[in-house]
Structure 1
Amino acid sequence: MALRVTAAAGEHDLLFLPWEVPLEEWPESTLVALPRGISRHIVRFVKLAGAVYAVKETVEPIARHEYDLLFELGRRDVPCVDPVGIVAGRTTPEGEELPAAIITRHLQFSLPYRALFSTTLRPDTMHRLIDALAVLIVRLHLVGFVWRDCSLSNTLFRRDAGAFAAYLVDAETGELHDKLSDGQREYDLQTAEVNVAGELLDVEASGRLHPSIDPIATSHIVRQRYETLWKEVTGPVSISVGDRHALDARVRRLNDLGFDIAELSVVSEEAGDCVRVTPKVVDVGHHSRRLLRLTGLDVEENQARRLLNDLDTYRVEEALTDESEELVAHRWVAERFEPVTGVVPADLRGKLEPAEIYHEVLEHRWFMGERLKRDVTIWEAAADYVATVLVDKPDEKAVLGQRLGTPSDTMGVRFEETTEMDLSELDLP
């Protein structure tokens, strides 16, 4: 049986991985030691040409279904891992058939929920993870995606200005529709409650759950957070005729949640003195897209909100209120963002991504000012933050692998023999 490979353009090096060997037997020299979530499949991480990929064994129809779904979700700007390729027709040198594999690009600075606490999962961390999961489910439902396997284990988390941003990892059970029914949404919520309860009970059994956290009660918070957000995003609201303030407040609340408004549907009520306003939400990312347009910085939503606030403060402090927003943003990047993040020594840059470092410097500056009872410059705060806080943080640029004690200079890939493959089967979209 010829090896059949579907790969994105520029990913040809993946052809030369040891596909003739079962994934759980791949040599250590091929693998990267990264924290993995719980999975029903064998999953391994490999490093090629400076990039890290996740390889999951499964059956070919499921691999192709998941690959297509991830590609479509990415096209719709839903947070998920990037699909890279599918490998099918695998056999051992003795001719034994092996499972197909789907390859995704590892999301830098992301971690499974179990890796976000080293000793005890505390309530504040747990609630932030639940909030991030609820936001992800809402975003998926808005584009018509029913997940059918909502869980913390099927999600990766990235730090986002003190909160977390959630990314879908496993889409093999999902389906895309034009619009979801209430029953489909309810099924996802019930699944999320059951899975989160089971995951937290497992953490509790390991002795790593804070005693104040009730696994069952906490699992119900997923539904509460989801329903509150779903109502805010999709539900109509009655507003008195001419009450512009109430209408503006509704739009601002949605923007603060990270959602943009495509249009507002307004219908007069029978009494004649009120109108019902229904927002039509097109996507999330109001702040991150604005920051990207102004500065070219592509960051998470909460990070973008914090950086935009600092940009506005900088504009006032430097008396640039008469300058265009674009010009001020250019100066802020050159005079604030890049110099502050540039303070971090090269050997510490794997700790956090630059936007999160900048956010934490701003937080550190505020706490320093409170402690010292005086104004603290951002340069003082940056230097003190690097010396007293950042140096003790674990690496979250997981591509380095050093947080788990794996030397980065030993993660090369060894090729001892190659599988005979039919290159005519290579499909490069």
Structure 2
Amino acid sequence: MSSLPGLSLTASGTIPQELLELPWHLPLVQWPQEVLAALPRGISRHIVRFAYLGGSIIAIKETSERAARHEYRMLRQLGKLGAPCVKPVAEVTGRTTDEGAELSPALVTRHLRFSLPYRAVFTHMMRKETLTRLIDAQALLMVELHLLGFYWGDVSLSNTLFRRDAGNFKAYLVDAETGELHPSLSAGQREYDLEVAQINIAGELMDLMEGGFVDEDVDAVATSGQFIDAYRGLWQQLTGDTTFKPGQQWLIEERIRRLNELGFDVEEYDIRSASDQGHLLLRPKVVDPGHHSRRLMELTGLDVQENQARRLLGAIDAYRAATDPHGDEAVAAHMWTQQVFQPMIAKIPRELRDKLEPAEIMHQLLDYRWRLSERRGHDVPMEEALPSFIDEELRGYRDEAVLMVDPPTDVVRQLELPTSSAPTESPDDDQDASAWYS
């Protein structure tokens, strides 16, 4: 710190010593390879790098002082509200070179393990069905943020990270530079976000189609329209009215159960008289995502994503039915964790454990066991299915939490996709090549 007297770091809690020792006197493009982590980066109008910080990895983005301060505070506020977004570490200002030349301020965020930018997800040809799941995840993210009163202002796949979630995707906000938090959003604010999203997503998909990374039968404009439909459907389910008569109380339970199935808890709801005589209107007032993940956490202590939790809860129910159908659910969950989940994960070879998250490995193993049982015509025990699952499937997955070696030149050329989005890093930067590291 003494060698950089003008440097200023704003962070919550104690500032790690390793953060102070990074080469802040150099532009990001000149940072030495020994401090950098070769993880996939998405399209950005800013210079972005990943660096080691103790036993973790951070993302560093050079930007303006005003933008860094705004985004740092916005991400902190969103984190406190439980929004799916990256965690801010610090904003760094007052950077200068050894010669005294000013350098751009930087925003530092925690790397979201097992996450990928959308261009890395599309490294291999993506089928139409998989693209639909990606678009649905983006729509759910936007609904969750809008429910919190967050106006995004620059909705796009480029500003999102994706993690696998039991055959689907979970989307996370990675860029809050243009965002604003309000007590609630007006219909106009939500519609503007939708309009921006539709334009950006269509453009990003056109870029991918030009590079041959999406099925030929995909219509970029129609797919961006699917995003709008998915958003509107979710928004109606979460905030729309249900009409019922005083004697139809079961409709309230049905509505709440349907929201639970979507992964939301209803903390409050409002019942009022409708214009039709004798009818009432039910409208959820406070909905909170993470219904299944919270339930799994209470039962097992496992902290996983929503669809993964839904799948593991199903596995626990099946285990309970097979071992003690009338037994206590909490006891069955504990026994399943001790006798099934932990032993199976412990048997995964150490060099393969960074392929996928443990909960995702278990989901894939359950799927594989089901297919294997179907082929053989009888139930295959987990212990018997595990070795062939490791050899036939897990080894083929991309390492989504570890560093990879530099790709061959011909692979780099294949990944140099055109883009119509905002300005990106300079052409000699390794940004496009980094999509291969998935």
Conserved 8 A contact 1:60-1:99: yes
Q: How far is 1:377 from its partner?
A: 1.4
Q: How far is 1:119 from its partner?
A: 2.6
Q: Which amino acid aligns with 2:263?
A: G
Q: Which amino acid aligns with 2:137?
A: A
Cα distance in 2 for residues equivalent to 1:6 and 1:318: 54
Q: How far is 1:282 from its partner?
A: 3.2
| 2:369 aligned partner | 365
Cα distance in 2 for residues equivalent to 1:172 and 1:287: 31
Q: Which moved more, 1:261-270 or 1:288-297?
A: 261-270
Q: How far is 1:340 from its partner?
A: 1.5
| 2:388 aligned partner | 384
Name the % identity. Answer: 51
| 2:332 aligned partner | 328
Q: How far is 1:204 from its partner?
A: 1.5
Residue deviations 1:316-362, cap 9 Å, x none? 11115232x32222111101110111221101001001000001111
Residue deviations 1:258-314, cap 9 Å, x none? 111012211233544432111123310001011111111110000001111111111
Superposed, which structure 2 residues align to 1:30-429 within 5 Å?
30-323=35-328, 325-397=329-401, 400-402=402-404
Cα distance in 1 for residues equivalent to 2:405 and 2:320: 38
Structure 1 stretches of 5 or more lacking a match?
407-429
TM-score, normalization: structure 1?
0.91
Q: How far is 1:403 from its partner?
A: 7.0
Q: Which amino acid aligns with 1:162?
A: G
Q: How far is 1:388 from its partner?
A: 1.1
Instruction: Tell whether 2:23 aligns with 1:15.
Output: no
Cα distance in 2 for residues equivalent to 1:403 and 1:21: 24
Conserved 8 A contact 2:356-2:399: yes
Cα distance in 2 for residues equivalent to 1:405 and 1:391: 19
Cα distance in 1 for residues equivalent to 2:16 and 2:70: 20
Q: How far is 1:29 from its partner?
A: 1.6
Conserved 8 A contact 2:273-2:281: yes
Cα distance in 2 for residues equivalent to 1:390 and 1:86: 38
Residue deviations 1:38-71, cap 9 Å, x none? 0000000001222110000011111011001101
TM-score, normalization: structure 2?
0.89
Q: Which amino acid aligns with 2:104?
A: P
Cα distance in 2 for residues equivalent to 1:349 and 1:112: 21
Cα distance in 1 for residues equivalent to 2:361 and 2:171: 19
The 1:14/1:319 distance shift into structure 2, 3 A limit, reads: same
Conserved 8 A contact 2:122-2:214: no
Q: Which moved more, 1:298-307 or 1:216-225?
A: 216-225
**Helix, strand or coil: the match of 2:136?**
helix
Choose between structure 1 and 2 for higher RCO, CA contacts under 8 A separated by at least 6 residues. 1
Conserved 8 A contact 2:202-2:221: yes
Q: How far is 1:10 from its partner?
A: 4.9
**Helix, strand or coil: the match of 1:402?**
coil
Superposed, which structure 2 residues align to 1:22-33 within 5 Å?
22-33=27-38
Q: Which amino acid aligns with 1:366?
A: W
Give the CA RMSD over aligned residues. Answer: 1.5
Conserved 8 A contact 1:147-1:171: yes
Conserved 8 A contact 2:149-2:185: yes
Q: How far is 1:206 from its partner?
A: 1.3
Cα distance in 2 for residues equivalent to 1:51 and 1:317: 41
Cα distance in 1 for residues equivalent to 2:342 and 2:91: 39
Structure 2 stretches of 5 or more lacking a match?
409-438
**Helix, strand or coil: the match of 2:158?**
coil
Cα distance in 2 for residues equivalent to 1:149 and 1:15: 32
